[in-house]
Structure 1
Amino acid sequence: MKIVLCIIVALVIFNGIANAQISQGTIAVSTGTNLNYSSSSYKGSDTKLNQFNLNLTGGYFFAQNFIIGAGIAYSSTNYKSSSYDYDTKSTTFSIFSRYYINGAFFLGIGYGSVKYEDLDALNELDFQVGYAAFISDNISIEPSLNYGLGLGDNEGNTFLVNLGFGLYLNR
């Protein structure tokens, strides 16, 4: 089974490198989602977490392998324990740019503003490293590592592992 998995991974990587470049004029649309449901009990204290995230981004390759775009994301979180109850929703608006190396590996930078229901907007500078594994000429699976640096009053930093799907038109 491990050999089969290694062969599939090698073929996906080779396919991404073989597709080489993403040409100027290509339009890209990608989406990702995250569902998290967990429940735990420790020494008589029960906790439950329900979380849902959905994001959509789009961009335009104004030069070969270089895209600029924008995105929107929605998040809903509900956390309950015997002593605490927390429920919030947020909307994020962002802009980003990415540079694709050999049309597969990418480096990205972005800026996002998160608005929670009951708080002022929080701003973040995002850095991204990832890989666009093309499973066809126009469709990719895109794993990435993201680091968010809080700006201004947002002193928090985030580190995320993401998995997204991309659609590349006019490629």
Structure 2
Amino acid sequence: MKKIILAAVAVFGFAFAANAQDGDKATGQTAKGKWLIEANTGNAVLGTTGIYFTSVDGESTFNIGLDGGYFVMDDLAIKAGLGYGSNSAADTNIFSYRLGAKYYVKSMIPVTLDLTGSSIKDAQENPMWLGIGAGYAWFIGNNVSIEPGLRYNVSLNEDFTDEGVLQFNVGFALHF
């Protein structure tokens, strides 16, 4: 697992260094000093800051959450997120959090690296994930982007699960 974490850090660092040497200045939505608020589709397995709802055989599970970020330099946002969810069958409440960074390669290809965790009511073990993802930012206006992408989450708590999770997400972001 240490090799996977080191590989994720190396990929993110390489993407950051490669674009930093470009000399291009970001303008518009991903420029230094801008703010980012986003909502993403989520996955019930992870405990997440995303948005989802499922209902199967009378059992309902939902989550609602948002991520926010600040561009500390052109194309690089430091992010934090919070989420709250519930499962009707297990009578469980879930509080989730996320800390990480999002880097826009060429101001349009978001690459993320973050830590996501959850606190589950009455659970003996809580999940924690290291996630890395990439996608495409489709800017549909001065302040709005739609960002489909793939992300892989590595479990950092082997007592909860030792399996990784691959996700397809669609994010909706406001830039101001």
Question: Above 0.5 in TM-score?
Answer: yes
Q: How does 1:97-112 map to 2 (within 5 A)?
A: 97-112=101-116
Gaps of 5+ in 2: 1-26, 41-50
Does the CA contact (< 8 Å) of 1:20 and 1:104 recur in 2?
Answer: no
Cα deviation, 1:30-87, whole Å, max 9, x if unaligned, reads 1232122234xxxxxxxx44221212011111111111110011222234xxxxxx33
Higher strand share: 1
Does the CA contact (< 8 Å) of 2:29 and 2:143 recur in 1?
Answer: no
% identical equivalent positions = 28
Matching residue's letter, 1:165: F
Residues 57 and 135 (structure 1 numbering): CA distance in 2 closer, same or farther, change over 3 Å?
A: same
1:51 to 2:65 alignment? no
Residues 130 and 20 (structure 1 numbering): CA distance in 2 closer, same or farther, change over 3 Å?
A: farther
Given the alignment, which residue of 36, 54, 74 partners 1:64? 74
Gaps of 5+ in 1: 1-18, 40-47, 80-85
1:128 to 2:133 alignment? yes
Q: Distance in 1 between matches of 2:60 and 2:129?
A: 24
Given the alignment, which residue of 35, 55, 60 partners 1:37? 55
Q: Distance in 1 between matches of 2:98 and 2:36?
A: 15
The count of corresponding residues between Structure 1 and Structure 2 is 137
Q: How does 1:156-171 map to 2 (within 5 A)?
A: 156-169=163-176
Given the alignment, which residue of 94, 97, 115 partners 1:90? 94
Larger radius of gyration: 1
Greater Cα offset, 150-159 or 65-74: 150-159
Q: Which runs of 4+ in 1 moved over 4 A?
A: none
1:23 to 2:31 alignment? yes
TM-score (norm 1): 0.72
Q: Distance in 1 between matches of 2:132 and 2:98?
A: 12
TM-score (norm 2): 0.70
1:118 to 2:122 alignment? yes
